[in-house]
Structures are given as C-alpha cells and as structure tokens.
Amino acid sequence: MADLPFLSPILETRRRPSAEQAPVVFKGSSFTLTIAHITTSDLDRITRELTDKTAQAPSFFQDIPLVLDLQSLESSSLDLDTLIKVFRAQRMNPLGVRNATPEQQAAARSIGLSFFATGRREEGRLTPPVAEPRVKPRVSTQPIRSGQQVYAPGGDLVLLGMVNSGAEALADGNIHSYAPLRGRALAGIKGDKEVHIFTYCLEAELLSIAGAYRVIEDIRDLPIEVRGKPAHIYLSGDRIMIDPICLF
Amino acid sequence: MGKIIVVTSGKGGVGKTTTSASFAVGLASRGHKTVVIDFDIGLRNLDLIMGCERRVIYDFVNVIHGEAKLSQALIRDKRIERLYTLPASQTRDKDALTLDGVSQVLRDLQQDLGFEYIICDSPAGIERGAFMALYFSDEAIVVTNPEISSVRDSDRILGILTARSRRAVEELDPIMPHLLITRYNADRVMQGEMMSMEDIKSILGIPVIGVIPESESVLNASNTGTPVILDEKSTAATAYADMVDRFLGDSRPMRFVNFEKRGLLKRLFARSAS
C-alpha cells in the first residue's frame, strides 16, 4: 500500500543580518508514506484486519507512519478518535488524513491530525490534458527558389518571400503566404486536418492539407477569382477547397 | 582587394561565355585590370570567344597542380591593355578542380597580381565546375534567356548562390546578384510570345543589370574571336556597354526593351473566354 511521496511546503527563511542561528529553521523535504485506505467504519473489522497484518509482517508495520485515506467510506459517520486509537494499539502511527469530508476534517483537527494532499483515484482524467506547448511560427523572409524547401516543424509557417515554381513550403501547422505562392504548399503534414493555407497570390502547382492534395496542372484550371489572387485553402472532408479572400 | 564576379546561369547556351568576354573587355577598356577565367574544364571555349586559342600553352589546371606559374598561363589580350585570359584545360575534367586549388589561384590573382576584377566564366549545370566558379564570388551575373526553362534554372542557381556559396556558408554579406537578360526580342514580347523583362523580374526577384537583344552579331563575334562589345555597329555591343556602365555605377536607360505590360505570363492570368 505504499503510495505517492509527499512533499511538504518549502518555507524560505530570510537570512538574519547577524551570525545568530534562527531558533526554528524550516526546510522542504519529501518522505515516502504509506496510505491506509479505510473502506469501512466498522471498527471491529478494522481491528481484526490490522491484527492479521501486523502478525504477518510485524517489523514492517511497527511504528509505521500512516496517512488515512477516507475517500472510500460510504457514510461519513466515522468515529475518528477511536479509529486512531485502534491503529495506535497496533503500534501504527497515523499522522493525518486525506480525502476527508468537512466533518471528518473538524474531527481530525480536534485530535491533532494533519491534512494531506488530495489524491483522488477517480476514473478518467483528473487534470485537463496538458495543451501542446505553443511553438512560435517560423518566419521566412527570403524567396524560396526552385529546388529548395522550407519546413516549419510543430507550428505555422509564415512566408514573406515568394515560393517559386519547383520549390516546396511545408508546415505541421498553417501556412501563411504574403507573396506569390508558385510552388508546392503542404500544410498539416503530420496529419492535422484543421489547418489552412492562406496566400496573397495563388499560383501554386500543388496544395496539400494533412496528406490530401490537389495538383494544379494548368493555372487556368483555377477559377478567375483566385488565380493569382488572395485565397484561402482548407480541407472539407477529403476535398481541398479554395475560396477567394475578399480584401475589401 | 579585387572583386570576384561569377557569370552563371544554370541553363546551357544562354550566353555566359559571350557575356564573360564582353564584360571583361568592357571593364578593361574603362581602365580596370581584369582577368577572365574559364571554369569549363574539358569543354573550354572562352579562349575561342576571346580569340586567343592558338596562344594557350598552360591552363588553369596546370596552375592548380603546380605544373606552371600563373604568369605563364595568363594570356594577355592583344587589343585591350590590362585584360588577361586564364584558359581551361581541354583534356582534363572537372574533378581536377579543388576548392583549395581554386582558392589559391584567386588569392594570387587578387594579391600578387593586383587584378581589380576577376570574372569567372561558369560552365552550365549545378555540378562541380559551376559550383567551383560561384563558390568564391562576391557578385554574380545571372544570365537568363526570356524562356521558361532558362528562368527556372536561373532560379535554381540563385538558390545555390544564396545557400551554398562561401559567403553563405561563412555567414558573410550575401553575394550581390544581377540579372542579365540575353537574346531578348522586344517584338515577340509585344506580341505576347516571349516573356518580358517584367515577367522575369517578378519570378527571379533580383535587380536587372541589362537586357541584351537577340543579334546576329553574336555569331559573327564568336566566329572571328572578337568579343561582341567590340563590334561598334551591333545593338548587342551597345547593350553590353550599357551593362558595364551600370555595373560601374552609372545609370543608363534600357534601350532595347519596350516596357511591356502584357507579357506572356500576364496573358495567362487575364480573363479568358475559355
């Protein structure tokens, strides 16, 4: 039943100007503590269980510091005072409680027990998923020339220079192009379907989002509204969509 | 310290050697000690265009291998004082060139012999010979025909200039590129059959240093071994002279370009009936 280590809060002491040592110096530390999950308020059953356990491994349980976890208790009517005495009769040493109701906390406080961090063993996620750290966009100011490639791993690509025919621009995220986009643009190359390609001047040879692609063999295949003009490219299902961006 | 200028293109047959010859003649004529070096090992032709092919004793590779001194290999031009040619080898191939060897020769030309301009005539392609020619350069003349494959290859070579040259690798100031458009035909541009200067500029994005019109005098020049800039009656000669003046800092209007708003590419984007 060994459980998570407990970290006590770190209290900084101010250095006293004189060489005199402070009477009490608080320092942070961590200890591994055993948690005893209390699953019933039946003190007789608890006594019998503890007797068995100490008989099996007397040296392990002797003077063991414990944290009593009260989460599983069906009713909150627990005689905490007697419970502590039961443990102490077995030479076990409860230091405090965890997951106590307000009434249990009041009882614990009155008999001098500490409160320990909540360690809920709930189904499912406790903390919200850690959001992906925001990667700064890669900004490219130079033209990307035929045969060259620019890649923004983990984030967006901002293109301030043109992407020439025969060149490639790739990003895990979105691609924002402020100059003629004449080569190939591939966004969401790790599979993110919800990314976009934006350009001020669409003349691209190939457009791709999350692996789906559209080849533009002849510039005249593009509708007049987007040919060489500002355009927004995104994925709808498996289709690459090209919409004009109206600037005015 | 002498400036190293590469004349390159990527595409073959666009006018690099023709340009190197006329450019070198133009600079030397205006009082600058100039050398033009042929980097096309094995397929040399700069010596033919310069008209000194019968005077080639030692060549660039001989100098790199220590078989001859630089002064023995340099051929002095008979027409223009201060102009010299360093020919390539006809029998060896491009593997004979090494970065160290080329570097040493260029340093000797700059320091020992005091050349102000060192023109490196590049072979076509992006392999060893072209790479050696561009690696040490301070400035580049990118020769481009108004034709789609030439423009694409020029774009490629510009990428290599900005990414793999010595200045790029050592993070110095970048090579200064200049666009030279050759074999330009203003009438065909007017008719929308040929890419215009503006079309090419918008794709390559580098400043234009000159536009050389298509001219029969270029063929005559190579036949006679006289760089075309010396043929006073030729439009190409005038255009090359303008280009040299612009390079040296004077501004000159573009004479052989009709400012064309609707070149070939623009017509593709126009509203079409189809």
Does the beta-carbon distance from A146 to B156 stay under 8 Å?
A: yes
What pLDDT score does A32 carry? 79
What pLDDT score does A130 carry? 57
Using the Cβ of B269 and the Cβ atoms of chain A, whether some distance falls under 8 Å is answered with: yes
Residue given tokens 């392609």 in the structure block: B125
Using the Cβ of A141 and the Cβ atoms of chain B, whether some distance falls under 8 Å is answered with: no
Q: What is the ipTM of this complex?
A: 0.80
Using the Cβ of B103 and the Cβ atoms of chain A, whether some distance falls under 8 Å is answered with: no
Residue given tokens 């599979």 in the structure block: A191
Chain A residues within 8 A of B159 when measuring between CB atoms? 145-148, 167
What pLDDT score does A7 carry? 36
β-pair partners for B146: none
Judge whether B206 and B178 are in contact, CB under 8 Å: yes
- Tell me which residue in B203, B269, B272 faces A228 most closely, judged by beta carbons: B269
**Adjacency order of strands within the sheet including A65-69:** A2-7, A30-37, A65-69, A93-98, A114-115
Q: What are phi and psi of A56, to 5 degrees?
A: -70, -40
What pLDDT score does A120 carry? 56
Whether the predicted model's global pTM rises above the 0.90 cut: no
Q: Where are the alpha helices (DSSP H) in A80-186?
A: 80-89, 102-110
Chain B residues within 8 A of A146 when measuring between CB atoms? 152-153, 155-156, 159
What pLDDT score does A71 carry? 84
Judge whether A111 and A84 are in contact, CB under 8 Å: yes
Give pLDDT < 70 ranges for chain B.
258-263, 266-267, 269-274
**Adjacency order of strands within the sheet including A231-236:** A138-140, A157-159, A175-181, A197-202, A231-236, A239-244
Chain B residues within 8 A of A161 when measuring between CB atoms? 205
- Tell me which residue in B155, B163, B269 faces A146 most closely, judged by beta carbons: B155
Using the Cβ of B54 and the Cβ atoms of chain A, whether some distance falls under 8 Å is answered with: no
Count the neighbouring beta carbons within 10 Å of the beta carbon of residue B77: 20
pLDDT in tens, chain A (248 residues): 333 344 333 333 344 444 567 889 888 888 878 888 888 888 899 999 999 888 888 888 888 889 998 888 866 677 888 899 999 998 899 999 888 888 888 888 888 898 887 755 544 444 455 556 668 899 999 999 999 999 999 999 999 999 999 999 999 999 999 999 999 999 999 999 999 999 999 999 999 999 999 999 999 999 999 999 999 999 999 999 999 998 77
Using the Cβ of B251 and the Cβ atoms of chain A, whether some distance falls under 8 Å is answered with: no
Using the Cβ of B164 and the Cβ atoms of chain A, whether some distance falls under 8 Å is answered with: no
Calculate how close chain A gets to B152, using CA atoms only, in Å: 7
Using the Cβ of B188 and the Cβ atoms of chain A, whether some distance falls under 8 Å is answered with: no
Chain A residues within 8 A of B156 when measuring between CB atoms? 145-147, 166
C-alpha distance from residue B252 to each of A81, B208, B243, B249 (Å): 102, 12, 8, 9
Calculate how close chain B gets to A214, using CA atoms only, in Å: 20
For residues A41 and A67, give the distance between their C-alpha atoms in angstroms, rounded to a whole number: 16
Does the beta-carbon distance from A147 to B156 stay under 8 Å?
A: yes
